[in-house]
Structure 1
Amino acid sequence: MYMNKLSVLAAALLISVTTVAQRKPEVKIDKSLITTKVQESLGKKNMTAMDLWELGRVSAEGLSPDGKTLLYGVSYYSLNDNKSEKDLFALSLADKSVKQFTAEAGGESVLKIEANGDVIYSFKGQLWRKNLHGGAAVQLTDVEGGLENVKFSPDGKHILFSKAVLLKNYHSVDKYKDLPKSNIYIYDDLDYRHWDSFNDGRFNHPFIASYTDGKIGEALDILKDEPYYSPTAPFGGAEDFTWSPDGKSVLYVCKKKFGKDYATSTNTDIYEYEVATGKTKNLSEGMLGYDTNPVFSPDGKRLSWMSMKTDGYEADKNDIILVDPSTSQKVNLTAHWDGTVNSFAWSKDNKKIYFVAPTRGTVQLFAIHVPVNLNVRSLPVIEQISDGQFDITGIVGELKDGLVVTSTKMTQATEIYHYAFKSKKLAPLTTVNDAHYARLNETKVEGRFTKASDGEDLFSWVIYPPDFDPTKKYPTLLFCQGGPQSATTQGYSFRWSFQLMASQGYIVILPNRRGMPGWGVKWNEDISKDWGGQAIRDYLSAIDDFSKESYVDKSRIGAIGASYGGYSVFMLAGVHEGRFKSLISHCGLFDMTSWYGTTEELFFANHDLGGAYWDKKNEKTYTDFNPIKHVDKWNTPILIFQGGKDYRVPIGQGLEAFQAAQLKGVKSRLVYMPDENHWVLSGHNAQVWQREFFDWLKETL
């Protein structure tokens, strides 16, 4: 549902934390250029919230066609400017040397790397070119309004891009041209707002235009005057588009529904648009759930995409569909596999599809052996090819001896690695944050199994404070994951940082309760229509079992969480029977009735809650599983965070919960963030969030 680098060189490393945070990004040097001696000169300390925001944020931008160079981005956040600054770096995979590729103020993103070393990248909405081997950057385009989600045709003579098109006069300034200072929205149907913005009548559309040396011809709107989104709203991007190998057609993802139908459906489809004729064909006709991410095999003979089966079920099992475009024959490659796919990539020889998927508390690499003959109905062979206490978060590209991937741990932000097929090990290619982490005391992470109340094995991650001493007693936090069908794995967060929490002296336990992917499709599905049932009992089982450890201070246990995790905290507040001394809920669902009446993606509520509150068959959802119905038992101090632009869990949820706590005389605090949505995106706001979070724990735990 809800719908989620480096410190300074040499003497600069001795500058104060505040000064480093305020420096302009000329200090962005890869850690590989810093000597071990300099690292060792730094003293160890426990992580702080400022340390968290000083980390560089690494993005993989692409491999050169010859496989010799990796381009990656590093973003640093400036608290002075309250914004991030991203530059590109080039890493030679032969000698591991690094050079800064761009340094302009702004953020650059690579679109393609050509065989001659030319890198075409996007910068401030325009296309630029610069060669890996040297030379100045050249601006290629100067298009009013800029270009978004650009894809080049195979011959480079056309581009595919997106821009917003005004199709409905929902905003008063568009409907009443003589009243330009008005600011009113008028609607006759649903889909009036989504995520963090009201629908102003503009719809993202894909456009095709000729392209020659930066000159762009007249752009053709593929969707014309249709009130549909492509890329899909609110998070779709360039992955929603692709050119056919011959450049004669374009594939795009779109949910061709409007109003109430749009708000209650997940049925996106893969459409093929023929450039010459303008004809459009639905390639996923009859496939009723999400169909996304169309990708052709390297030889262009096969097409693949990700697909969910059920309309309205956004957390359904995600499968990989294989299509022979010449015959339109389809095969579900992962139908027999008990898991769900996050993302995938083709092997260069067209024989395999690599994918990443959650499994048993981590996210790992898998490989499918692609059938040569789609008429043969034998089950495709699927093998897990990586294993360890880490997450593989993405596949960048393939080398002769392995894959280039991105990876995280609970104690390490994203870096880029080489995964070797032979040794099955990860080797770091970027070490952007190593020098920073070398200054911090380590926090140990371990896995733990508990018996749930129904006898099932329940896995949890546990992260311990630096210099953990089992003879001492520690305050402990139970983390409640959002989603509800989101995995708790070895991911890294710049807000819900368990490393930071542990560094402040808390043990954190993170159960893989019912509803999380990685433990089979049934385990994942079991939470739907049972939000306040077994999943909540799983949390209680995990904390009850862990509380038996001698080092857990039973009188100082807290529960924390966001989104469905925030809902869990609100539910636990009424059923925990004295287990918790302090509670923290971020953008949690408090009253399921008012939430159903104000949230925007109604397909989610219809599937996971069962439907509307006026339908008697859903009574349990709006009574037994509704936190507001258990407020009479609230007696535990609670901190409530609420975003003002959160339309997934609208503002009334947090305000209602705070008001109830206040009127009941329960110690409570509201942290209202008027400019934030379901997340916290501003650096300054994030610092306030961290300070309030830890101050509350100091007060109450």
Structure 2
Amino acid sequence: MGQRAPEKKIEKSVLTNKINEYLAKRPMNAEDLWKLGRVSAEGLSADGSVLVYGVSNYSFEENKSEKNLFTIPLKGGDAKPFTTDLGSETVIEITSSDDVIYLFKGQLWKKNLKGGAAVQLTDVKEGLSDVKISPYKKHILFSKQVLINKNHSVDKYADLSKSNIYIYDDLDYRHWDTFNDGRFNHPFVATYDNGKIGEAVDLLEGQPFYSPTAPFGGAEDFAWSPDSKSVLYVCKKKFGKEYATSTNTDIYQYDLATKQTKNLTEGMSGYDTNPTFSPDGKRFSWLSMKTDGYEADKNDIIIQDLASGVKLNLTSHWDETVNAFYWSKDGKKIYFVAPTRGTVQLFEVDVPANLNVRSLPKIQQLSQGQFDISGIVGETKEGLVVTSTKMTQATEVYLFNFKNKNLTQITSVNDAKYAGWKETKVEGRFTKASDGADLFSWVIYPPDFDPTKKYPTLLFCQGGPQSATTQGYSYRWNFQLMASQGYIVILPNRRGMPGWGTKWNQDISKDWGGQAIQDYLSAIDDFKKESYVDNDRIGAIGASYGGYSVFMLAGVHEGRFKTFISHCGLFNMESWYGTTEELFFANYDLGGPYWDKANAKTYQDFNPIKHIDKWNTPILIFQGGKDYRVPVGQGQEAFQVAQLKGIKSRFVYMPDENHWVLSGHNAQVWQREFFGWLNETL
């Protein structure tokens, strides 16, 4: 017995240390969220052994973020700073000699991975954006704004330089958070010689079209052919009402020698995006949606043989939608990421040697687990370098191993911070929807969850309406943060979300207030049966379509909820149709305008303003002043109704924010008002 005593002492010491470590942990708070480093994977060294990645860190004092680049060996080792200058750097490419070409303050810089000082390459007066350097390094492709239409008074009337008036004769007069001042992003091609840029050619000279596409397009809308003889660019060559009512982007090829432009996707009427060449340059691939006006249509991978013109839809037989894809180095496979059953996973599909095939190759799911694969960075001999998130972990970079199918973490930017916070358990849950379908939900529990106690519960209503609720990580609607404040959060994968088959995804269109709302009620009714749910303290929260869902639930919930929070929600479908900018979305998802009698159900039964006679529950309303997708009047109308009906309500107006909350200080106000309201009403 005397010989075993030291062993018992060690076990007790280990246990004591673990207890002390646990007791030292605390719940996550709102400021912690903005102290996390935001990781971006930027590229791999020529031999695939070193990762270059970016980390953006937010300063509360300056209310802005700064991004720097770092390097880390893939097979283990310490991360090292690569850039330290004030500002933000973004990698353009990593050359075969391991020169990292990056964009910094609008100019190209070069620094080698093996060491040495950074060298500024360009000195362009207006700066560069969306840069792609040709494979042979003799030309450069970039974008800049060009004045086409004089919509702004200072451009139309040069002698009235202190005026500030906009004049329009057509639609598309504002988009997302900006009024159209008549300037359009255009692609430019110029000669390039180690930083020296020659005279640039505007590929859309004189045309009122955007490329990259507005408002979110970037360098992914551009591509060089491997032989450097042509470029591809994405553009929706429509203007005014046609632009506002269509999603028909096409991919155009510009030949540098002939100066001729060809539409490679002629006759394909939906979104065509992300042009990419195969490694040998003989094939061209892209993401394509079939239906004009349907922004959430099934996204397929299309391949075209450039010599013969033969096209093949590589994923037409697959009942899901593709987020992004990546060619294997040997050109024999395409890897892609896609939502599936409440997560986003990694898939692969073989590329046929002959595109005239009778049967399509089988699609294989590679990864599986309670995480999202959010992007593919590159390929090594061992596997794929990817980015990944969980509801309880922000983006980090991993290696997905081909042999064992496991993820090995490469970066650990935020591990130390997470180690100091108490864990929040995440579980999946199935219930039966009102129509008998299986309905999946994610459930996040508070730290130190005790099933013998009762907890307030939040029903999260997702936006989109075709956005997925998976294992993504948000810096505003952060479920780890909500759970850390003592709330259980349930997130149903209701009708309209991808990952459960295309029909499930499509079923919400023209049925906004129908089965999807019933799915929310089914999920919360089932969850209320758990003994640890305090049925007297249940709230519903959400933004965009989720905000619409909150407004709808406020009129049909029959006492289920004690409080509501709606951010940029659609409240009056008629006035929303009359003021939103992307009319293709309203036309497809709602059925069309309110004056068309065929859409009566949308504007009557599925219109939150038509159910205000049953409003009787406290409600908090957030609204951005620069939100042109869901304009400010929606929040104002809802708040005015609540106030005049004598319902406890609050209106949080953010004049400088759009559909999101981008300022760190504004985000802190948002969080304080959010949790303050819950403390008051739940």
Report the TM range for the smaller structure's normalisation.
over 0.9
How far apart are the structure 2 equivalents of 1:392 and 1:93?
18
Q: For residues 45-94 of structure 1, give each alpha carbon's deviation from its aligned partner in whole angstroms, at most 9, with x where no partner exists.
A: 00000111100000000011210110000011001110001100011124
Q: Equivalent residue of 1:400, what SS?
A: coil
Q: For residues 634-655 of structure 1, give each alpha carbon's deviation from its aligned partner in whole angstroms, at most 9, with x where no partner exists.
A: 0000000000000000000000
Contact kept in structure 2, 1:271 and 1:281, CA below 8 Å: yes
Is residue 550 of structure 2 the alignment partner of residue 569 of structure 1? yes
The count of corresponding residues between Structure 1 and Structure 2 is 665
Q: For residues 125-173 of structure 1, give each alpha carbon's deviation from its aligned partner in whole angstroms, at most 9, with x where no partner exists.
A: 0000011111111111110110000001110011000000000000000
Is residue 447 of structure 2 the alignment partner of residue 493 of structure 1? no
Aligned to 2:13: none
Matched letter for residue 547 of structure 1: K
Q: Equivalent residue of 1:105, what SS?
A: coil
How far apart are the structure 2 equivalents of 1:617 and 1:582?
34
How far apart are the structure 1 equivalents of 2:153 and 2:663?
30
Q: For residues 77-136 of structure 1, give each alpha carbon's deviation from its aligned partner in whole angstroms, at most 9, with x where no partner exists.
A: 001110001100011124423210000000000001112121100000000001111111
Aligned to 2:591: 610
1:395 corresponds, among 363, 369, 376, to: 376
Is residue 140 of structure 2 the alignment partner of residue 159 of structure 1? yes
1:282 corresponds, among 241, 263, 267, to: 263
Matched letter for residue 368 of structure 1: V
Contact kept in structure 2, 1:96 and 1:429, CA below 8 Å: no
Aligned to 2:633: 652
Is residue 97 of structure 2 the alignment partner of residue 97 of structure 1? no
Contact kept in structure 1, 2:509 and 2:590, CA below 8 Å: yes
Give the drift of 1:187. 0.2
Matched letter for residue 466 of structure 1: P
Q: For residues 231-275 of structure 1, give each alpha carbon's deviation from its aligned partner in whole angstroms, at most 9, with x where no partner exists.
A: 000000000000111111111000000000000000000101111
Q: Equivalent residue of 2:297, what SS?
A: coil
Contact kept in structure 1, 2:76 and 2:410, CA below 8 Å: no
Aligned to 2:201: 220
Contact kept in structure 2, 1:498 and 1:508, CA below 8 Å: yes
Contact kept in structure 2, 1:121 and 1:128, CA below 8 Å: yes
Aligned to 2:445: 464
Is residue 328 of structure 2 the alignment partner of residue 328 of structure 1? no
Q: Equivalent residue of 1:528, what SS?
A: coil
How far apart are the structure 1 equivalents of 2:627 and 2:309?
42
How far apart are the structure 2 equivalents of 1:615 and 1:119?
56
Is residue 421 of structure 2 the alignment partner of residue 408 of structure 1? no
Is residue 581 of structure 2 the alignment partner of residue 600 of structure 1? yes
Matched letter for residue 50 of structure 1: E
How far apart are the structure 2 equivalents of 1:276 and 1:426?
46
Is residue 464 of structure 2 the alignment partner of residue 503 of structure 1? no
Structure 1 unmatched runs, 5+:
1-35
> Identity of paired residues, percent?
78
Aligned to 1:236: 217
Moved more, 622-631 or 379-388: 379-388
Is residue 406 of structure 2 the alignment partner of residue 425 of structure 1? yes
* Residues 136-155 of structure 1: pairs in structure 2 closer than 5 A: 136-155=117-136
How far apart are the structure 1 equivalents of 2:181 and 2:647?
41
Q: Equivalent residue of 2:24, what SS?
A: coil
Aligned to 2:660: 679
How far apart are the structure 1 equivalents of 2:301 and 2:55?
31
Distance change >3 Å, CA 328–CA 654, structure 1 → 2: same
Q: Equivalent residue of 1:357, what SS?
A: strand
Distance change >3 Å, CA 427–CA 94, structure 1 → 2: closer
Give the drift of 1:379. 1.4
Q: For residues 192-220 of structure 1, give each alpha carbon's deviation from its aligned partner in whole angstroms, at most 9, with x where no partner exists.
A: 00000000000000000111121110111
Give the drift of 1:41. 10
How far apart are the structure 2 equivalents of 1:200 and 1:410?
40
Distance change >3 Å, CA 42–CA 74, structure 1 → 2: farther
How far apart are the structure 1 equivalents of 2:362 and 2:605?
44
Contact kept in structure 1, 2:46 and 2:97, CA below 8 Å: no
Give the drift of 1:42. 9.5
Give the drift of 1:377. 1.8
Give the drift of 1:517. 0.1
* Residues 67-466 of structure 1: pairs in structure 2 closer than 5 A: 67-466=48-447
How far apart are the structure 1 equivalents of 2:75 and 2:561?
54
Q: For residues 552-587 of structure 1, give each alpha carbon's deviation from its aligned partner in whole angstroms, at most 9, with x where no partner exists.
A: 000000000000000000000000000000000000
Aligned to 1:694: 675
Moved more, 134-143 or 640-649: 134-143
How far apart are the structure 2 equivalents of 1:69 and 1:299?
24
Q: Equivalent residue of 1:418, what SS?
A: strand
Q: For residues 332-379 of structure 1, give each alpha carbon's deviation from its aligned partner in whole angstroms, at most 9, with x where no partner exists.
A: 000010000000000011110000000000000000111111112211
Is residue 624 of structure 2 the alignment partner of residue 643 of structure 1? yes
2:495 corresponds, among 514, 527, 531, to: 514
Aligned to 1:28: none
Aligned to 2:648: 667
Q: Could you state the TM-score of these two structures normalised by the residue count of structure 1?
A: 0.94
How far apart are the structure 2 equivalents of 1:102 and 1:172?
42
How far apart are the structure 1 equivalents of 2:111 and 2:44?
15
Contact kept in structure 2, 1:567 and 1:590, CA below 8 Å: yes
Contact kept in structure 1, 2:188 and 2:203, CA below 8 Å: yes
Is residue 494 of structure 2 the alignment partner of residue 476 of structure 1? no
Matched letter for residue 291 of structure 1: D
Aligned to 1:65: 46
Contact kept in structure 2, 1:365 and 1:385, CA below 8 Å: yes
Q: Equivalent residue of 1:228, what SS?
A: coil
Divergent runs of 4+, >4 A: 39-42
Give the drift of 1:421. 1.0
Matched letter for residue 591 of structure 1: N
Q: For residues 619-664 of structure 1, give each alpha carbon's deviation from its aligned partner in whole angstroms, at most 9, with x where no partner exists.
A: 1100000000001100000000000000000000000000000000
Aligned to 2:522: 541
How far apart are the structure 2 equivalents of 1:411 and 1:138?
39
Give the drift of 1:401. 1.5
Is residue 558 of structure 2 the alignment partner of residue 560 of structure 1? no
Q: Could you state the TM-score of these two structures normalised by the residue count of structure 2?
A: 0.97
Give the drift of 1:40. 5.8
Contact kept in structure 2, 1:42 and 1:439, CA below 8 Å: no
Matched letter for residue 35 of structure 2: E
Moved more, 95-104 or 538-547: 95-104
Give the drift of 1:299. 1.5
Structure 2 unmatched runs, 5+:
1-16
How far apart are the structure 2 equivalents of 1:61 and 1:245?
21
Aligned to 1:49: 30
Is residue 620 of structure 2 the alignment partner of residue 622 of structure 1? no
